[in-house]
Amino acid sequence: MRILHFFKTYMPDSWGGTQSFIYQLAEGTAREGHDVDVLFLSRSLPSQPQTFGNHTIHPVRLTFELASTGFSIPAFKKFNELARQADIVHYHFPWPFMDVVHFAARASKPSIVTYHSDVVRQRYALKVYRPLQFRFLSAVDRIVATSPNYLATSKVLQQFAPKTTVIPIGLDYTLYPKASDATINRWRSSLGDQFFLFVGMLRYYKGLHILLEAAKDTQLFIVIVGAGPTERELREQAKQLNLSNVLFLGEISEEDKVALLILCLAVVFPSHLRSEAFGITLLEGAMFGKPMISSEIGTGTTYVNIGGETGLVVPPSDPHALRRAMNYLVEHPAQAQRMGQNARLRYQALFTSEIMVSKYLTLYQEVLSKRRANDKA
């Protein structure tokens, strides 16, 4: 089977939760013997195919951006070329330009879309986009939600419930580098092992301003890994609050990230808006047996993190509740360890790459079989 993924950005040009998911799925299906292509827009990579792991990436030049949406003139031709070769096209929503390309190309190949998030912030643009969004989601063969929580709480997905299935994101532990003893010891000597870890893009919906407020006037040690649009204002907020107990590390290597996941007391994930649909960092924390702290926002974050079982769940935008949760894990190490163990067990039962890949391959075959049956009818 030849599978084409289409998304606005991808590795190694850009890193993030959706990109990590596509990478895990692409590598997993390629290991099962399938040919996988990923088409995406790039600011810097040359517009030529490259081998990336066990699959092929196809960067095309980003032409311009409008309302945080990337557009590319060369993408139309490249999509046509790759779609003709593909057995199935796998879209990743939301990205309005992708919808335009789908219809402009008169794409007729079997298709599915993984619905990563509602459109949350661009309310005025959404009014213009909504008819195209409805037409696109109606046109694809199947829709995938990443958690039952998101399917149950998304007004958009509820309109397409009969054609929507739930496949949680999964991670392959073997795709992560092994942190050497030297790397672990280097970080232990500078950070210890009693810190709370946040990893991710520094975006408006990540709730990091709430985390900084929660850290005020405490001895809680918080390490923030990542970069993004809100980094400058977050650093300024930390400076104004005189937070000597918060450390911004910026972007670090994957081996360093693994070392921090091994060492940390817990993963803290204060996202407070529905733009945070799942939380791969939470899943990484669970994979490494760490208790988690997250907010109840009606999305997959509380499908990964079950309050009182794998970690603690607090109301969104509540720094006092977030502070109490962090203090609880510090003051109750036995319970924190038990939650981390439960998190690891839940990862093994629900969130491995093998489970995810198997479910997607089954869905691909179902879509292909149904399309062939309809063509014969």
- What are the percentages of helix, strand and coil residues in the chain, rounded to 5? 50, 20, 30
Query: Which tokens hold the place of 26?
Result: 């692409």
Identify the pLDDT of residue 226.
Answer: 93
Identify the pLDDT of residue 124.
Answer: 62
Is pLDDT at 156 greater than 70 in this prediction? yes
Q: List domains and CATH numbers for the chain.
A: 2-172+353-376 (3.40.50.2000), 174-350 (3.40.50.2000)
DSSP codes, 105-152: TT--S-EEEEE-----S-HHHHHHHHHHHHHHHHHSSEEEES-HHHHH
Is pLDDT at 275 greater than 90 in this prediction? no
Percent of the chain with pLDDT over 90: 82
pLDDT (tens digit, 9 = 90+) per residue, 168-191?
999 999 989 999 999 999 999 999
Is pLDDT at 253 greater than 90 in this prediction? yes
Query: Which tokens hold the place of 206?
Result: 């990540």
The sign of the torsion formed by the CA atoms of 323, 328, 329, 335 equals negative
Is pLDDT at 276 greater than 90 in this prediction? no
* Cβ-contact 256, 359 below 8 angstroms: no
Mean pLDDT confidence for 218-224: 97
- CA pair distance 350, 348, nearest whole angstrom: 6
| Mean of pLDDT over the chain | 93
Mean pLDDT confidence for 86-94: 95
pLDDT-based confidence at 120, cuts 50/70/90? low
Q: How many other CB atoms sit within 10 Å of the CB of residue 126?
A: 16
Mean pLDDT confidence for 53-59: 96
- CA pair distance 100, 304, nearest whole angstrom: 33
Among 365, 373, 370, which residue's Cα sits nearest to residue 29? 365
Polymer length in residues for the chain: 377
Give the angle subtended at the CA of 364 by the CAs of 149 and 53, to the nearest 5°. 90
